[in-house]
Amino acid sequence: MRIELASDPAAPPAPNEDYAAVALPASGAGGALVVLDGVTPPRDGDTGCVHGVPWFVARLGGAFLELAGARAGTLADCLADAVRRTAAAHGPACDLTHRRTPQATVAAARWDGETVEHLVLCDAALLLERPDGAVRPVLDLRLSRLPRDLPAEEMRNREGGFFTAAADPEVAARAVAGSVPRTEVAALTALTDGVTRWTEVFGLGDWTALQGRLRKAGPQGVVDEVRAAEAADADRGRYRRGKVHDDASAVLVEL
Ligand SMILES: [Zn+2]
């Protein structure tokens, strides 16, 4: 087994709001990984919370990884419990009903000798590579399918819109989740949208090509390629994207 992880902040010294971690073994067999991308609130915006995004993703990611590794239910069950636990860790000064309460996108996977389970919420992604090299992306397309003229901010965590992990555990049931036999997975990768822009924004190749680069150059090598593409279009004149640079995280697991 080979596991490689990279997590690169968009603009140091600003903190990295991604979270990426792997647990081996998970309850004696296999393993688990969790990748989160904390949603950056508007610079001048009130979040109703005295905590920052890094506090939130560290709490949520740590709880989710612990529960997934302990096999405390399905991945969706574990995410729901992790959201519940993190919500309880806020204090009385935090208004968890605030629409900008700290929140994150999610990609997670767990495997044992028999099965690979996967879960994606919002615009994080998982790539599942078959032994024959075919790559299947696991994506939650609700955000990308919103009409362009709809302000995404208003459609967040709302029926008919898209969903992130915030303070409501019910959101876990809305994640794109499933499982495949382990014999059908040679490798898998979890990515935040700071890395999927390699394919989705810069068009450096399709998902199969991206997985190939992750295998060959490693997660840090691919992050470096994204940074080079961003630097070559620093005024965002050619490639449409919300931020010039974004926190970028990737976990590659070759089973
Ligand atoms: Zn708080």
CA-nearest of 222, 212, 218 to 248 is 222
Give residues with Cβ within 8 angstroms of 186, minimum separation 6. Answer: 129, 130, 131, 133, 254, 255
Residue 73 lies in a domain: yes
pLDDT of 9 > 90? The answer is yes
For the stretch 100-138, pLDDT in tens is 999 999 999 999 999 999 999 999 999 999 999 999 999
Give the bridge partners for 110, in sequence order. 32, 117
Residue 193 CA, ligand 1 centroid: distance in Å: 25
Supply the pLDDT for residue 149.
81
Give residues with Cβ within 8 angstroms of 15, minimum separation 6. Answer: 9, 52, 53, 54
CA-nearest of 196, 201, 188, 206 to 233 is 201
Give dist(CA 57, CA 7) in Å, integer.
13
Residue 18 dihedral angles phi and psi, to the nearest 5°: -85, 165
For the stretch 40-91, pLDDT in tens is 888 777 899 999 999 999 999 999 999 999 999 999 999 999 999 999 999 9
Name the packing angle between helices 193-200 and 207-231 (round to 10°): 100
Supply the pLDDT for residue 42.
81
Confidence of residue 238 (pLDDT cuts 50, 70, 90): very high
Average pLDDT over residues 140-159: 87
Give dist(CA 240, CA 238) in Å, integer.
7
Residue 131 CA, ligand 1 centroid: distance in Å: 44
Read off the CATH number of the domain in which 132 is found: 3.60.40.10
Residue 72 CA, ligand 1 centroid: distance in Å: 25
| Cα 80 from chain centre | 16
Give the percent of the chain with pLDDT over 70.
99
pLDDT of 142 > 80? The answer is yes
Residue 249 CA, ligand 1 centroid: distance in Å: 24
- Our CA dihedral for 112, 115, 116, 122, rounded to 10 degrees, sits at -120
**SS3 state at 28:** coil
Supply the pLDDT for residue 4.
97
Quote the tokens at residue 144. 């990308």
For the stretch 10-45, pLDDT in tens is 999 999 999 999 999 877 779 999 999 999 888 777
The domain in which residue 35 lies consists of: 2-194+246-254
Residue 46 lies in a domain: yes
pLDDT of 147 > 90? The answer is no
Domains of the chain: total: 1
Residue 219 CA, ligand 1 centroid: distance in Å: 32
Residue 90 CA, ligand 1 centroid: distance in Å: 4
C-alpha to C-alpha distances, 101 to 128, 137, 153, 156, nearest whole angstrom: 32, 29, 13, 11
Residue 47 CA, ligand 1 centroid: distance in Å: 9
Residue 217 lies in a domain: no
Asked if 174 and 160 touch (Cβ cutoff 8 Å), the reply is no
Burial 206-242 (b: 16+ CB within 10 A, else e): ebbebbebbbeebbeebbebbeebbeeeeeeeeeeee
Give dist(CA 59, CA 62) in Å, integer.
5
Residue 87 CA, ligand 1 centroid: distance in Å: 8
Average pLDDT over residues 202-210: 98
Residue 103 lies in a domain: yes
Which regions of the chain does DSSP assign to beta strands (E)?
2-8, 18-23, 31-38, 104-111, 115-121, 125-129, 135-139, 176-181, 187-191, 248-254
Residue 160 CA, ligand 1 centroid: distance in Å: 27
